[in-house]
Structure 1
Amino acid sequence: MIETVKSLLFTESERETIYECRRCGTGVDSPSSTCPSCGNEDIASFHTR
């Protein structure tokens, strides 16, 4: 039953990818960009459920 509820609440279309600078934590628009705050090119990606 829990899996059924999860599948209804968290569909594939509602998932989102968030990109964030590994140095300072600032959110960025895409993984290929540099951080607007510190210029770092190492961008992490996180997938929400």
Structure 2
Amino acid sequence: MSLSRLLSGLFDDSEPNTESPATTRSSVEHEESSPTIVHECRNCGTNVSAETTCCPACESDDIVRYSI
């Protein structure tokens, strides 16, 4: 089966009411104005508080801060 036939088959069954990037832009802009900050141990993935300097689970000092 050719790639073009496969792709056309995937999109033939798509719903016409699906959200497009244009319809979700306002909600994304709202989220960008107030990001959620997550502090996590890079070694084991444990979520920690902002003040944590050493992971309580694995004792690693590699703590990262993510804005999501």
Question: TM exceeds 0.5?
Answer: yes
Report the counterpart of residue 24 of structure 1 in structure 2.
44
Give the 3-state SS of the residue equivalent to 1:37 in structure 2: coil
- Contact kept? 1:31, 1:44, Cα under 8 Å: no
Q: What is the TM-score with the length of structure 1 in the denominator?
A: 0.68
In structure 2, what is the Cα distance between the partners aligned to 1:32 and 1:43?
Answer: 8
Higher mean displacement: 31-40 or 21-30? 31-40
Unaligned runs of 5+ in 2: 1-21
Percent of pairs with identical residues? 27
Find the structure with the greater CA-based Rg: 2
Report the counterpart of residue 55 of structure 2 in structure 1.
35
**Bigger strand share:** 1
Taking only aligned residues, the RMSD between alpha carbons, in angstroms, comes to 2.4
Larger relative contact order (Cα-Cα within 8 Å, sequence gap ≥ 6):
1
The alignment of Structure 1 onto Structure 2 pairs a total of residues equal to 46
Q: How far did residue 28 of structure 1 move?
A: 0.6
Unaligned runs of 5+ in 1: none
**Bigger helix share:** 2
